[in-house]
């Protein structure tokens, strides 16, 4: 009887080891389904419009950006504020230069580089906010955020450097 118990224990231990080390059960480790990448992932240039709710109403900003993912970003924002006034900002990250047109032609505001570059609506934080939002974009149509709508989205358009020069 003791021999029978020992045999049963050895058989159970053997079967358990066989299953534990992948020999049985018919189960295989599932291969994870790859997560689809964002339509903007890896983009080096973008063009899109943003209608943002601001204190004074709705502001429209057209972002044109080149050299995304580098420390040499060229950024142009053509803005129409809530009162209908039009402005253009051109920023060059490498040169830390800012040209702005407030309706009277372009002037150099590079001495205020940080003020423009760090601006939450038209500077790098605004660009980062919208690019992060577009990571969830389906790849067609508009993207609606909490206080803004991004439309006319073009991923990796060919943008000539002249777009970042005063006209």
Give the chain's largest Cα–Cα span: 104
53-103 tens-digit pLDDT:
988 899 999 999 999 999 999 999 999 999 999 999 999 999 999 999 999
- Reported as a pLDDT band with limits 50, 70 and 90, residue 9 is low
User: What's the pLDDT tens digit per position in 107-123?
Assistant: 999 999 999 999 998 99
Under the banding of pLDDT at 50, 70 and 90, the label for residue 6 is very low
Q: In the chain, where do the E strands start and end?
A: 45-54, 57-66, 74-80, 86-92, 97-101, 106-108, 143-144, 148-155
In this model, does residue 162 exceed pLDDT 90? yes
pTM of the model: 0.77
CA dist., res. 46 & res. 74, Å (int): 11
Q: Which of 62, 61, 70, 64 minimizes the C-alpha distance to 45?
A: 64
Residue 7's pLDDT band (cuts 50, 70, 90):
very low
Question: Which sequence spans correspond to the domains of the chain?
Answer: 45-159
Beta bridge partners of 128: none
């Amino acid at each position: 009887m003791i021999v029978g118990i020992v045999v049963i224990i050895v058989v159970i231990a053997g079967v358990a080891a066989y299953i534990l080390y992948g020999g049985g059960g018919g189960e295989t480790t599932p291969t994870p389904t790859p997560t689809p990448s964002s339509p903007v992932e890896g983009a080096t240039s973008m063009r899109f419009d943003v209608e943002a709710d601001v204190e004074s109403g709705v502001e429209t900003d057209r972002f044109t950006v080149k050299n995304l993912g580098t420390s040499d970003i060229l950024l142009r924002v053509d803005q129409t504020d809530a009162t209908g006034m039009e402005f253009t900002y051109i920023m060059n990250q490498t040169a830390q230069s800012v040209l702005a047109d407030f309706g009277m032609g372009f002037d150099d505001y590079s001495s205020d580089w940080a003020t423009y570059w760090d601006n939450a609506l038209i500077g790098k934080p605004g660009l980062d906010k919208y690019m992060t939002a577009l990571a969830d974009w389906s790849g067609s149509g508009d993207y609606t955020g909490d206080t803004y709508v991004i439309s006319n989205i073009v991923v990796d358009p060919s943008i000539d450097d002249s777009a970042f020069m005063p006209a």
